[in-house]
Amino acid sequence: MSRRAKMNMAPMAVASDGALVVNTAQLTTSNSLPAIIKAAESTGLDVFIGVVVPERLRSRVLRDLNDAAADIVGRLGPTLTAPVVEASASDHAAVVEHRGRQGRHGGRPQHRRGPRA
């Protein structure tokens, strides 16, 4: 038995290559897939055809994407961080003096989460 696909009407998406993709289904009044494809082709622009990842797979795919992004950040990290500059004794004294005038938390109210142990 064939299941009729439901049209996703999100107005746009971002492709992994950075392309912003608009939903061609919103450019036509037809719900017919051939008509929507024809409307996409008539723009003369690149066309992205895809399907939505099913809910049952979504958390796994998002976890894999998160892991891949973490790997990328790990490789980029050393190239993105600035060298650490040691603070002078006078810089440290100025910070201590400033905090002393504002109180321990910089003048911001602190909320306790419960009684201290």
Q: Which two tokens stand for residue 10?
A: 């999100």
pLDDT at position 94, please? Answer: 64
Tell me the per-residue pLDDT of 29-78, one tens digit each, with 9 for 90 and over. Answer: 888 999 999 999 999 999 998 889 999 999 999 999 999 999 998 988 88
pLDDT at position 91, please? Answer: 66
pTM over 0.75, yes/no: no
Contacts of 35 (CB under 8 A, 6+ apart): 28
Tell me the per-residue pLDDT of 11-29, one tens digit each, with 9 for 90 and over. Answer: 999 998 999 999 999 888 8
pLDDT at position 99, please? Answer: 59
Query: Per-residue confidence at 97, pLDDT binned at 50, 70, 90?
Result: low
Residues 65 and 36: beta-carbon distance below 8 Å: no
d(CA 74, CA 91): 31
Average pLDDT, the chain: 80
Tell me the per-residue pLDDT of 55-67, one tens digit each, with 9 for 90 and over. Answer: 999 999 999 999 9
- Residue among 18, 16, 2, 25 at smallest CA distance from 53: 16
pLDDT at position 115, please? Answer: 52
| The pLDDT of residue 79 is above 80 | yes
Go through 57-87 and write b for each residue having 16 or more CB atoms within 10 A of its CB, e for each that does not: eeeeeeeeeeeeeeeeeeeeeeeeeeeeeee
Contacts of 20 (CB under 8 A, 6+ apart): 12, 13, 14
d(CA 43, CA 45): 5
